[in-house]
Amino acid sequence: MREHTALETPQVLNIGPRQFAWGARTYVMGIINVTPDSFSGDGLASDVEAAVAQGLRFVREGADLLDVGGESTRPGFEAVPVQDEVRRVVPVIERLVRECDVPISVDTYKAPVAEAALEAGGHLVNDIWGFRRDSAMASLAARFGVPAVLMHNQRGRRFRDVIGDIRAGFEASLALAEAAGIPRQRLILDPGFGFGWTEEQNLEMLRRLGELKALGCPLLVGTSRKSTIGAVLGLPVEERLLGTAATVAIAIAQGADIVRVHDVAAMVQVCRMTDAIVRRR
């Protein structure tokens, strides 16, 4: 287990209205799916009022960031036209920026959607393809001067080694960011739990997560309600809260800085308890 202590000097990143001191504690990102077909069953379709209400509830429950997505990325998902994705996310982002004081992220790999979200006041880009699907994403993030989450997506890629494959994907994404002029300290890395991996590979990823800290970037991990938990426990998506809690605790112990979750109130408690152990808070 990689131990974190409050004595470490944290690296600091400003994201919108908040400051994040990596290593000081674990931060919680609440998921807002403005989609009709979320794998987790929490899709809000185009209901702006419901999405905003959920976001404000997450903030009251302790969320440090909100991640708004307008296209499901579950296995076998169907791509949404850009104009439809923009129509789903922009009204929600505009409202949340006005009504709460936490950073708002847009979950998209399409530059036109990201641009519309940032123009609407968004503070962070969360790209599940790590700048490798849309060549305009890196230059867009550089132009707006916003941080970005770069995920390694294993879908469609040849498997060699879990951590080796993730590291190679990260290095490719980091090179694109560097070429666009984005400072490394503005980047957050996500190993892509559930994106193209077998159940065994997902579990190995969590066991070996600490190896990725050598890249010098904060890590975001998103295990919430995913199928690996269901496979291990034999439970449907709506009954995976405790399994999610176990994966979140292990991820923190292995170096996660942000956890992306559906169940904010419960996972805030998991983070606080785990931080008390591994970060001595």
- CB proximity list for 84: less than 8 A, separation 6 or greater: 70
| pLDDT (mean) for 96-125 | 98
**pLDDT higher at 68 or 6:** 68
Q: Active-site residue numbers? A: 226, 260
Bridge partners of residue 22, in order along the sequence: 11, 25
Residue from 242, 139, 129 nearest 195 by CA: 129
- DSSP 3-state assignment of 237? helix
| pLDDT (mean) for 195-215 | 97
pLDDT at 5: 41
**Sign for the pseudo-dihedral over CA of 151, 154, 155, 157:** positive
- Evaluate if residue 180 carries a pLDDT over 50: yes
Determine the Cα–Cα distance for residues 126 and 7; give it in Å rounded to an integer: 30
Burial state string for 129-161 with b = 16 or more CB within 10 A and e = fewer than 16? bbbbebeebbbbbbebebbbbbbbbbeeeeeee
pLDDT level of residue 40 (50, 70, 90 thresholds): very low
- Evaluate if residue 223 carries a pLDDT over 50: yes
Residue from 90, 257, 239 nearest 190 by CA: 257
User: With contact defined as beta carbons under 8 Å apart, do 217 and 187 qualify?
Assistant: yes
| pLDDT (mean) for 28-34 | 96
User: With contact defined as beta carbons under 8 Å apart, do 60 and 28 qualify?
Assistant: no
- Evaluate if residue 37 carries a pLDDT over 60: no
- Evaluate if residue 3 carries a pLDDT over 70: no
| pLDDT (mean) for 26-53 | 80
pLDDT at 45: 63
Q: What are phi and psi of 223, to 5 degrees?
A: -105, -5
**pLDDT higher at 43 or 12:** 12
pLDDT at 36: 77
Average pLDDT of the chain to the nearest whole number? 93
User: With contact defined as beta carbons under 8 Å apart, do 123 and 103 qualify?
Assistant: yes
β-strands 11-15, 18-22: how paired? antiparallel
Determine the Cα–Cα distance for residues 26 and 234; give it in Å rounded to an integer: 29
pLDDT tens for each residue of 224-248: 999 999 999 999 999 999 999 999 9
Q: What are phi and psi of 175, to 5 degrees?
A: -65, -40
- CB proximity list for 149: less than 8 A, separation 6 or greater: 105, 124, 125, 126, 127, 187, 188, 189, 190, 220
User: With contact defined as beta carbons under 8 Å apart, do 148 and 186 qualify?
Assistant: yes
pLDDT at 72: 83
| pLDDT (mean) for 200-207 | 98
**Sign for the pseudo-dihedral over CA of 258, 264, 266, 269:** positive
pLDDT at 64: 98
- Evaluate if residue 49 carries a pLDDT over 50: yes
Domains of the chain: residue spans and CATH: 23-278 (3.20.20.20)
Determine the Cα–Cα distance for residues 144 and 78; give it in Å rounded to an integer: 29
pLDDT at 42: 53
- Evaluate if residue 279 carries a pLDDT over 80: yes
pLDDT tens for each residue of 119-161: 999 999 999 999 999 999 999 999 999 999 999 999 999 999 9
pLDDT level of residue 184 (50, 70, 90 thresholds): very high
Determine the Cα–Cα distance for residues 23 and 12; give it in Å rounded to an integer: 9
pLDDT at 35: 85
- Evaluate if residue 43 carries a pLDDT over 60: no
Q: Residue holding tokens 């159940």? A: 199
User: With contact defined as beta carbons under 8 Å apart, do 205 and 162 qualify?
Assistant: yes
- DSSP 3-state assignment of 108? coil
Determine the Cα–Cα distance for residues 17 and 30; give it in Å rounded to an integer: 16
Q: What is the pTM of this model?
A: 0.93
